[in-house]
Amino acid sequence: MHTETERKFLVRDEGYKAEAVRSVHIRQGYIAHDGGNTVRIRIKDAQGILTIKGATHGFSRPEWEMEIPLQDALDLFALCKSGCVDKIRHIVPAGGGRYFEVDEFLGDNEGLVMAEIELGSEDEAFVRPPWLGEEVTGDRRYYNSYLSARPFKTW
């Protein structure tokens, strides 16, 4: 199982768009969310993905992910406990082989733009581009599982 170490930030402006090397459409929902553990179903363009994540400790948490047939992913959306999260993800080089994933949320979360960077360790340094805003790592309101049940537009 992989350990994911990531940091999350709000985004100040659209400067990231000029730096993006590709973008994908993502729709995801949560089949289970209990005690910090989640089971997520995601459709990334036309690819189905099932993900299980453990509780977060610091900036890290265990993560298991597997590609599944698109039709299975579509069928699993019927098991989701709350609403779905819909977003466009922009991939932006961060240097050193790292990338920012900048999520521009759609639908009930429209207006929210967040950037995540996955790191090799919790103390790994990285360059903060000018469009990167306030850090929200650890603020559960910005977890996608939270946004699926309590959309940004209702805050």
Annotated catalytic residues are 30
Nearest to 55 by CA among 138, 142, 149: 138
Tokens standing for 131? 């469009």
Q: Which helix (H) or strand (E) holds 62?
A: strand 60-68
Find the radius of gyration of the CA atoms of the chain.
15
For 87, which DSSP code? E
Nearest to 104 by CA among 47, 20, 31: 20
Whole-angstrom distance, CA of residue 125 vs CA of residue 117: 11
Residues 11 and 102 sit within 8 Å (Cβ to Cβ):
yes
